[in-house]
A and B are shown apart, each in its own frame.
Chain A
Amino acid sequence: MLEAIHGLNIALPIMYIITFTLYVIAFFNDDSGLNNIKRVFLFLACTTHIFYLLVRTIEFNHPPITSKFEIFTVLAFAIACSYFILELVTDIRGTGLFIIFFSVLFQVISTFYIQDLMEVREVLRNRMLGMHVISALLGYSGITISAVYGLLFLVLYKDIKLNKFSIIFDRLPSLETLENMSFISLVIGFLLLTISITIGIIWLPGAFPDFSFFDPKLISTALVWLVYGTGILIKLFGIWYGKRVIMFSLTGFVIAMFSLLLSNIFASSFHSFY
């Protein structure tokens, strides 16, 4: 089983790189012939990744959330899988390379640094923690995908405003589509983040003796949740449209990443397991 895990650990970044390359070629050559092939490769990569995560969980007797690099592989999977579902549902195929890039990045880092951790803190084997972390990761994946679409929106917005009709103009879907995809990803990410926070609030106080509501990570997560929640309400009530909503969403993303960085690296927290 260990050999299989190591083999898959090497195979996964290769599969993601091949998939990413296919998306890049299709984008720059406007090659509709590759449309189905690239989707098949993405499906294969995601399926292989599910298998990898399951095998790791079984072999090491804990979900792969006990180290940064285990989190990275789960994040890579969450982003790829979320995009695959989004592409299937919307049939918008020209934006994959911008999303799958992040899966490649996270998986490559994970492949290089991930360790086979047999011995971990008992709390990390807990299923509730697993659900809490995985829903949080899925939430942040949704937010990341939303941010990518937001950036693409801004790039296309600027190009159209400046009458620049480059490959970006040709290949990307419409501004309205990018805005909608950004919003849908954001809503899904927000809902999953809400589930994660809810599980955390219900379960964490009992699981950790040194639990505190003033924990830096909790504060930063709450801040992110409030920013995104506000953004969603602004959009739903039609207070802002188009570029303003996107800018607000991207600001939220920057705050999210910044606060995650701060709370993970600089602040001590009961959340620190590794």
Chain B
Amino acid sequence: MNIVGISINHRNSPVELREELHLNREEIIDYIPRLKNYLSEGFVLSTCNRTEIFGYPESEKVDVDGIINSLKDFKPVKNFNDKNYDRYFSCGAVKHIFSVSTGIDSLILGDSQILGQVKEAIELSKDLDFAGATTNRLFDTAIKVGRRAIKETLIGEGAVTVSYAAVQVIEKIFANLDKKHALVIGAGETGELAAVHLRDKGVGRITIANRTYEKAEKLAEKIHGDIIPLKNVGEDLHHFDIVVSATSSSDYIISKDDVKKMMRKRRGTPVCLMDIAVPRDIDPKVKDIENVFYNDIDSLQIIVKQNMKKREKEIPLVEEIIMDEMVSYFGWYNTLEVVPTIKSIREFFEEIRQDELSKIRHKVTEDDYAKLENMTRRMVGRLLHNPTMKLKEVAESGANASQITAHTIIAKELFGINNGKHQNNE
């Protein structure tokens, strides 16, 4: 039984196709019963950047085309062809799953969210009775690999988005963020991300300003902040230690004069202005003012690029962890094949022992019978000790599947065992 799967991701599919093929939680719940026609157990992981479907086939015949067709039937999309997904089998599939959980396969290298998303996929599979012993073991190892990558390497360190880089700069200026007051201008996607990052970093108070009041209200509610009207930003600017601007305005919202007035009212206390809008919302000449720290997207991208390079250096370390856990996982997986063989051989020997003992049952005394029973039991145990240990050793060493199969076939042939039944040619 070998794991198979398909992966639709940023390397093989454009973003429009990935968005169309994305399955939300309810859709996964509806889709899995269809998948059970092809896979006895498995999981579906679907995020904004990937859809992964992996599992163990129902029969010995591996039917990846069946999986693809089931997805196409469930989510009919145009222009979805063979180039838009990758196929994985056996070791390759396990390696891919581990690569996904560590974040080294993500669009943003070292993505910290993916591990949580993998866990959710696993939980959903369990809830839908789609996770058996093998899948559970695979999941547990995938989570372990992800955690090890985070703990033992720097793959997830440093800001790799502009919003987070802005927060990194803010942290380099101010020590006690819980005593600071931040203003986020613009409640769009970028502004929201920035506001969430600031909240997560423990900024004491966050205020939102947006052209559309309702959007500002929604974001303020999400981050437990407050609101000011956009038109009041100029006169209230001096209240804020941190200003993050991310609007779609084509003109400057904050001019150099606004900042000069602000600094006079603040008596020169440092202020951080993060302009993550395109085109810029804040006049860049404000950086000439003392104790004013101004950054725009270009300067924040420098930090992002530096951090990405650092993460790239961690990839070999993560791959070592993946290899390490793959050996461990396959060591366990291979015993699945070996254990039934060992059991069959032991049953075969026990059957012969019982058969021979029954022939002399009535020819010896009770005491002698008991002694013979003990002796034959010990003899069988000693005879089978080496073959059993050898088979287990080969399985747990992480040897490849064909080696394991070869050993079990030889063992079965030597003792005339086929499909768990022995062939006694006596």
Binding site for B on A (CB under 8 A): 156, 160-161, 163, 165, 169, 172-177, 180, 238-244
| Given A174-B172, A174-B174, A174-B175; A161-B293 close (CB under 8 Å) | yes
| Given A165-B306, A244-B268; A174-B290 close (CB under 8 Å) | no
Assembled-state Cα–Cα distance A238/B169 (Å) = 25
Contact, CB under 8 Å: B295 / A163: yes
Taking the closest CB of chain B, its distance from the CB of A47, in whole angstroms, is 31
Chain B residues near A163 (CB, 8 Å)? 295, 299, 302
- The answer, yes or no, to whether B113 is at the interface (CB within 8 Å) is no
Which residue of B267, B270, B302 contacts A238 across the interface (Cβ within 8 Å)? B267
- The answer, yes or no, to whether B152 is at the interface (CB within 8 Å) is no
- Among A165, A175, A177, A242, the one with the most B-chain Cβ atoms within 10 Å of its Cβ is A165
* 28 A–B pairs (Cβ distance < 8 Å), ordered by A: A160-B169, A160-B173, A160-B293, A163-B295, A163-B299, A163-B302, A165-B306, A169-B172, A174-B171, A174-B173, A174-B174, A175-B172, A175-B173, A175-B174, A176-B174, A177-B175, A180-B175, A239-B267, A240-B268, A241-B267, A241-B268, A241-B269, A242-B268, A242-B269, A242-B270, A242-B290, A242-B291, A243-B290
Q: Per-residue CB proximity of B237-271 to A under 8 Å, as 1/0?
A: 00000000000000000000000000000011110
Task: Name the interface residues of B281-333: CB closer than 8 Å to any CB of A.
Answer: 287, 290-291, 293, 295, 299, 302-303, 306
Assembled-state Cα–Cα distance A177/B174 (Å) = 7
| Given A175-B270, A176-B174; A243-B293 close (CB under 8 Å) | no
- The answer, yes or no, to whether B176 is at the interface (CB within 8 Å) is yes
The 5 closest A-B pairs by CB, nearest first: A163-B299, A176-B175, A177-B175, A242-B291, A174-B175
Chain B residues near A242 (CB, 8 Å)? 268-270, 290-291
Q: Residue on A with the closest CB to B268?
A: A241
Q: Per-residue CB proximity of B148-189 to A under 8 Å, as 1/0?
A: 000000000000000000000101111110000000000000
Chain A residues near B293 (CB, 8 Å)? 160-161
Which residue of B172, B270, B299 contacts A241 across the interface (Cβ within 8 Å)? B270
Chain B residues near A241 (CB, 8 Å)? 267-270, 291
Assembled-state Cα–Cα distance A165/B302 (Å) = 8
Chain A residues near B171 (CB, 8 Å)? 174
Assembled-state Cα–Cα distance A173/B172 (Å) = 7
Assembled-state Cα–Cα distance A169/B270 (Å) = 17
Q: Residue on B with the closest CB to A180?
A: B175
Assembled-state Cα–Cα distance A163/B291 (Å) = 14
Assembled-state Cα–Cα distance A161/B299 (Å) = 10
Taking the closest CB of chain A, its distance from the CB of B156, in whole angstroms, is 15
Chain A residues near B267 (CB, 8 Å)? 238-239, 241
Assembled-state Cα–Cα distance A173/B175 (Å) = 8
Assembled-state Cα–Cα distance A203/B175 (Å) = 43
Using A176-B175, A241-B269 as known contacts, list a sample of 20 further A-B pairs with CB atoms less than 8 Å apart, ordered by residue number in A.
Answer: A156-B172, A161-B293, A163-B299, A165-B302, A169-B172, A173-B175, A174-B171, A174-B172, A174-B175, A175-B173, A176-B173, A176-B176, A176-B270, A239-B267, A241-B267, A241-B268, A241-B270, A242-B268, A242-B269, A244-B290
Chain B residues near A175 (CB, 8 Å)? 172-174, 270
Secondary structure at chain A's binding surface: helix, strand, loop or mixed?
A: helix
Contact, CB under 8 Å: B291 / A243: yes
Assembled-state Cα–Cα distance A244/B267 (Å) = 12
Q: Residue on B with the closest CB to A166?
A: B306
Assembled-state Cα–Cα distance A243/B302 (Å) = 25
Taking the closest CB of chain B, its distance from the CB of A167, in whole angstroms, is 10
Assembled-state Cα–Cα distance A153/B174 (Å) = 12
Taking the closest CB of chain B, its distance from the CB of A63, in whole angstroms, is 39
Chain B residues near A173 (CB, 8 Å)? 175
Taking the closest CB of chain B, its distance from the CB of A146, in whole angstroms, is 17
Chain B residues near A161 (CB, 8 Å)? 287, 293
Chain B residues near A243 (CB, 8 Å)? 290-291
Assembled-state Cα–Cα distance A161/B294 (Å) = 7
Taking the closest CB of chain A, its distance from the CB of B170, in whole angstroms, is 9
Task: Name the interface residues of B355-373: CB closer than 8 Å to any CB of A.
Answer: none
Q: Residue on A with the closest CB to B298?
A: A163
Chain B residues near A239 (CB, 8 Å)? 267
Chain A residues near B291 (CB, 8 Å)? 241-243
Taking the closest CB of chain B, its distance from the CB of A161, in whole angstroms, is 7
Q: Residue on A with the closest CB to B269?
A: A241
Taking the closest CB of chain B, its distance from the CB of A102, in whole angstroms, is 25
| Given A165-B306, A243-B291, A244-B290; A160-B172 close (CB under 8 Å) | yes
Taking the closest CB of chain B, its distance from the CB of A120, in whole angstroms, is 47
Assembled-state Cα–Cα distance A49/B301 (Å) = 48
Taking the closest CB of chain B, its distance from the CB of A65, in whole angstroms, is 38
Q: Residue on A with the closest CB to B294?
A: A161
Chain A residues near B287 (CB, 8 Å)? 161
Assembled-state Cα–Cα distance A156/B293 (Å) = 12
Chain B residues near A238 (CB, 8 Å)? 267
Taking the closest CB of chain A, its distance from the CB of B232, in whole angstroms, is 25
Taking the closest CB of chain A, its distance from the CB of B203, in whole angstroms, is 14
Assembled-state Cα–Cα distance A86/B169 (Å) = 25
Q: Residue on A with the closest CB to B171?
A: A174
Chain B residues near A172 (CB, 8 Å)? 172
Q: Residue on B with the closest CB to A177?
A: B175
Chain B residues near A180 (CB, 8 Å)? 175
Q: Residue on A with the closest CB to B176?
A: A176
Taking the closest CB of chain A, its distance from the CB of B259, in whole angstroms, is 14
Q: Residue on B with the closest CB to A172?
A: B172
Taking the closest CB of chain A, its distance from the CB of B360, in whole angstroms, is 70
- Among B169, B172, B268, the one with the most A-chain Cβ atoms within 10 Å of its Cβ is B172
Chain A residues near B268 (CB, 8 Å)? 240-242, 244
Q: Residue on A with the closest CB to B158?
A: A170
Taking the closest CB of chain B, its distance from the CB of A163, in whole angstroms, is 4
Assembled-state Cα–Cα distance A161/B295 (Å) = 8
Assembled-state Cα–Cα distance A160/B270 (Å) = 13
Task: Name the interface residues of B110-149: CB closer than 8 Å to any CB of A.
Answer: none
Chain A residues near B303 (CB, 8 Å)? 165
Assembled-state Cα–Cα distance A27/B268 (Å) = 32
Assembled-state Cα–Cα distance A165/B165 (Å) = 11
Assembled-state Cα–Cα distance A172/B173 (Å) = 11
Chain B residues near A156 (CB, 8 Å)? 172
Task: Name the interface residues of B169-223: CB closer than 8 Å to any CB of A.
Answer: 169, 171-176
Taking the closest CB of chain B, its distance from the CB of A149, in whole angstroms, is 13
Chain B residues near A165 (CB, 8 Å)? 302-303, 306
